[in-house]
Amino acid sequence: MIFEQSILTGGGKIHCPRCTAKSKRTGEQCGRPALRVSKTQKCQFHGGRGNSGPKTPEGKARALAAHTKTGDCSKAARDADAGVSARLLRLEDAMHVLGMTTATRTRGRKPSCYVQVKDVAGVAQMMIDDVLHRVDGPAAD
């Protein structure tokens, strides 16, 4: 395949370099004009802007600090969310065991800390565990 080096745009009035990217599907050359700042003669969609990121250790540290999310994506937050989801699933299991509902079970992936409640003894153990591990303090009498 022969790549065209330039194209005419603007009704044939503007002469500019052509993007040298090649389509994987059709094998044809990209028809967009290349960016002037591109070292590899690519358009903006094929990597013409070409920022390769920080090079110095100080710059890498700044980039890492700027892109670190705290709270909503931390491991502790994910574990807390998994614990809440597991507790809700155990409550749903208890409702089915005690005959309080006939609705279908919740579909989807279960958290790794989830333990299924299968019988009345499991419901009693779940209630004991909830009282012993209550976060907001001792149970009200």
- What are the residue boundaries of the structural domains of the chain, listed by start? 1-52, 75-132
DSSP E strand stretches across the chain: 6-9, 14-17
Give dist(CA 53, CA 57) in Å, integer. 11
Pick the more confident residue, 134 or 47.
Answer: 47
The model carries a pTM of: 0.46
Rounded-to-integer distance, Cα 14 and Cα 5, Å:
14
The per-residue pLDDT for range 33-66, each reduced to its tens digit, is: 888 887 788 888 887 776 778 889 998 888 877 7
91 compared with 68, residue with greater pLDDT: 91
